[in-house]
Amino acid sequence: MIRSVLSPKHLHRMTTIVRHSVFCILVAVFGSLFASCSSSKPPVPQATARIVESQHGIASLYTDRRTASGERFIASAFTAAHRHWPLGCLVRCTNLHNGRWVVTRINDRGPYIRGRIIDLTPIAAEAIGLSKSHGICRVRIDRLQ
């Protein structure tokens, strides 16, 4: 009677179930471990970034010109032009009409039109909702440190 309960077929089936359970647990543990190490989002400026200075004014869209920093103008780069702020500093530009914002890097001088405080590349302008048809919008810019 004891032999019928502990037949080799019965033991083989039990070990298969146990092996499958252990395998599933290991896959879950290692899967969560590796998933926490990977990042699919681009790096975002730290939430602890300090605002050094702020301005309100009009932003405009600019294209195809040489930059004051010596870099080549790239329409698909998140860069901007400001008259006085240091080249290379990060700026958060917020559209006051719709609340959308973008972080850009200053790599050029300008704009040289009265009332305008920043010129944005086409990709940065599109990110805050500024289109070529409008050309300008009211913004708040914050220099980050």
pLDDT for 45-84, tens place per residue? 556 789 999 999 999 998 877 888 888 899 999 999 999 9
Task: Name the residue with higher pLDDT: 114 or 10.
Answer: 114
Could you tell me how far CA 145 lies from the centroid of its own chain?
17
CATH number, domain 51-144:
2.40.40.10
Mean of the per-residue pLDDT values for the chain?
81
Among 9-13, 70-74, 79-83, 111-115, whose mean pLDDT is lowest? Answer: 9-13
pLDDT greater than 90 at residue 34: no
**Predicted TM-score (pTM) of this structure:** 0.65
Buried b (16+ CB within 10 A) or exposed e, 30-60: eeeeeeeeeeeeeeeeeeeeeeeeeeeebbb
The ranges assigned to domains in the chain are 2-37, 51-144
